[in-house]
């Protein structure tokens, strides 16, 4: 004789729904960099700084998050994905982002944009930074859509005792702008002053930056600015690769040429 399992109560159904939401929630979460092999901290991935390293595919919510941060009313960082890396020496850092499907969860077809900033968001166990914290809202223009700015410095704050009496004072994370790259043309990313795309809206971007030692955050999001009007929150997959290389020393013949040029300039000044 078989026994049927008891029917789930309404409360259990709600608990299942809450668990499902919690499972889905990371694509909407506050700023974090994950951890380990499936995270977004490149220093924790094998091979970092010894050749190209690709993080596990990640999900971005919405097709417009990066482009939305290029305009006058800024954007919401929940519409981007944050990665981190730390350099211990001057380096040439090549960042490449490719759109990719993630089975049963995220679509291909994102036109990506990214920006690199010096600085990190607050890390656990501190409360996470987000656009909806009281201090983030208080420290930006009332009309701003969020705190994210794609082309200049910006700040986020975490939650303070106004949310939880156990928390210390809310703290600022400053992201100091270092550079960007964006897929396509102004047809997709909009008409922000001075913005240059890679000219081909094919879901792929790559660009190289000369960076000093320090901690960096990389924010990747969608570059389809017209989609912001409909604000559809489709989940898109991205695959992000970093290649970190030392800045080449001048070669011996190059150094000799530099020395000769210096001597010639000295002689001209004395002549």
By CB under 5 A, name the binding residues for Ca ion: 68, 71, 73, 75, 145, 183, 198, 200, 202, 204
Q: How far is the CB of 130 from Ca ion (least distance, A)?
A: 17
Q: How far is the CB of 90 from Ca ion (least distance, A)?
A: 28
The single residue listed with the structure tokens 């270092």 is 178
Residue with smaller CB distance to Ca ion, 202 or 215? 202
Q: How far is the CB of 74 from Ca ion (least distance, A)?
A: 6
Residue with smaller CB distance to Ca ion, 73 or 90? 73
- In eight-state DSSP terms, residue 184 is S
CB contact at 8 A, 201 and 111? yes
Q: How far is the CB of 121 from Ca ion (least distance, A)?
A: 20
Residue with smaller CB distance to Ca ion, 171 or 207? 207
Residue with smaller CB distance to Ca ion, 71 or 172? 71
What's the rounded Cα separation, in Å, for the pair 46 and 62? 30
Q: How far is the CB of 179 from Ca ion (least distance, A)?
A: 16
CB neighbour list of residue 251: distance below 8 Å, 6 or more residues apart: none
3-state secondary structure of 16: helix
Q: How far is the CB of 203 from Ca ion (least distance, A)?
A: 7
CB contact at 8 A, 127 and 167? yes
What's the rounded Cα separation, in Å, for the pair 218 and 120? 9
Residue with smaller CB distance to Ca ion, 17 or 200? 200
Displacement of CA 125 from its chain's centroid (Å): 21
Helices (H), the chain: 10-24, 65-68, 134-138, 186-189, 252-270
Residue with smaller CB distance to Ca ion, 127 or 190? 190
Q: How far is the CB of 78 from Ca ion (least distance, A)?
A: 13
Nearest to 58 by CA among 84, 86, 39, 77: 39
- In eight-state DSSP terms, residue 34 is -
CB neighbour list of residue 198: distance below 8 Å, 6 or more residues apart: 181, 182, 183, 184, 205, 206, 207
Beta bridge partners, 97, equal 205, 240
Residue with smaller CB distance to Ca ion, 106 or 188? 188
């Amino acid at each position: 004789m078989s026994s049927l399992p008891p029917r789930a109560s309404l409360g259990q159904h709600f608990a299942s729904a809450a668990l499902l939401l919690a499972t889905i929630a990371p694509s909407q979460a506050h700023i974090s960099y994950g951890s380990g092999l499936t995270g977004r901290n490149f220093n924790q991935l094998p091979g970092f700084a010894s050749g190209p390293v690709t993080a596990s595919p990640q999900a971005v919510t919405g097709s417009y998050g990066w482009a939305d941060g290029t305009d006058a009313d800024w954007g919401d960082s929940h519409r981007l994905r944050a990665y981190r890396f730390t350099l211990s020496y001057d380096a040439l850092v090549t960042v490449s982002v490719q759109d990719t499907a993630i089975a049963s969860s995220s679509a291909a077809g994102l036109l990506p944009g990214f920006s690199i900033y010096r600085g990190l968001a607050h890390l656990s166990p501190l409360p996470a930074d987000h656009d909806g914290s009281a201090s983030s809202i208080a420290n930006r223009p009332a009309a701003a859509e969020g705190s994210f700015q794609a082309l200049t410095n910006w700040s986020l704050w975490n939650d303070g005792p106004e949310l939880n009496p156990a928390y210390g004072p809310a703290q600022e994370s400053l992201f100091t702008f270092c550079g960007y790259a964006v897929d396509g043309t102004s047809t997709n990313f909009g008409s922000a002053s001075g913005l240059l795309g890679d000219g081909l809206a094919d879901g792929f971007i790559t660009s190289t930056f000369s960076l000093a030692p320090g901690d960096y955050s990389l924010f990747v999001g969608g570059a389809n600015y017209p989609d912001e009007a409909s604000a559809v929150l489709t989940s898109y997959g991205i695959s992000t690769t970093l290649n970190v290389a030392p800045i080449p020393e001048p070669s011996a013949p190059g150094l000799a040429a530099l020395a000769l040029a210096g001597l010639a300039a000295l002689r001209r000044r004395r002549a």
